[in-house]
A = this chain, B = another copy of it.
Amino acid sequence: MDFYSDNTAPAAPEVLAALAAANQGVARSYGDDAWSRRLDEAFGRYFGRPVRVFPVATGTAANALALAACTPPWGEIFATDAAHVIHDECGAVELQTGGARLTRLPSPDGLLDASVLEAWLADHPVSLHSPQPAAVSITQASECGTVYDAARVAAIAGACRRHGLTLHMDGARFANALATLGVHPAEITWKAGVDVLSFGATKNGAMGAEAVVFFDPGRVGDFELRRKRAAHLFSKMRYLSAQLLACVEQEFFARNAARANRLAARIGAAAGRRLLFPVQANAVFVRFDPGQKQALRERGFGFYDWGPPREEAARFVVSWDQDETHVDALCEALAAWN
Contact = CB atoms under 8 A, between A and B. Distances in A.
Interface of A: 2, 4-5, 7-11, 16, 19-20, 22-30, 56-61, 64-65, 72-74, 87-92, 94-104, 122-125, 128-132, 202-203, 207-208, 222, 224-226, 228-236, 239-240, 307-310, 319, 321
B23 A58 contact: no
B11 A230 contact: no
B19 A207 contact: yes
Given A58-B232, A58-B235, A88-B130, A16 B23 contact: yes
28 contacts: A7-B235, A7-B236, A8-B27, A8-B29, A10-B23, A10-B236, A16-B23, A19-B207, A57-B208, A58-B235, A72-B225, A73-B91, A73-B94, A73-B95, A74-B91, A74-B225, A89-B228, A89-B231, A90-B131, A91-B229, A94-B94, A94-B99, A96-B231, A98-B98, A103-B104, A203-B235, A230-B230, A230-B231
A4 to B, nearest CB: 7
Contacts of A29: 4-5, 7-8
A79 to B, nearest CB: 12
A209 to B, nearest CB: 10
A132 to B, nearest CB: 7
A72 B94 CA distance: 12
B100 A94 contact: yes
Indicate how many identical chains form the complex.
4
A126 to B, nearest CB: 10
A18 B8 CA distance: 18
A13 to B, nearest CB: 8
B102 A90 contact: no
* Most chain B Cβ neighbours within 10 Å, of A4, A72, A207, A308: A207
Nearest to A120: B308
Contacts of A59: 235
Contacts of A307: 123
A123 B61 CA distance: 27
Contacts of A309: 122-123, 125
Contacts of A234: 57-58, 208
A123 B311 CA distance: 9
Contact of A2 (B26, B64, B240): B26
B95 A229 contact: yes
Contacts of A100: 91, 94
Contacts of A231: 56, 58, 60-61, 64-65, 89, 92, 96, 230, 232
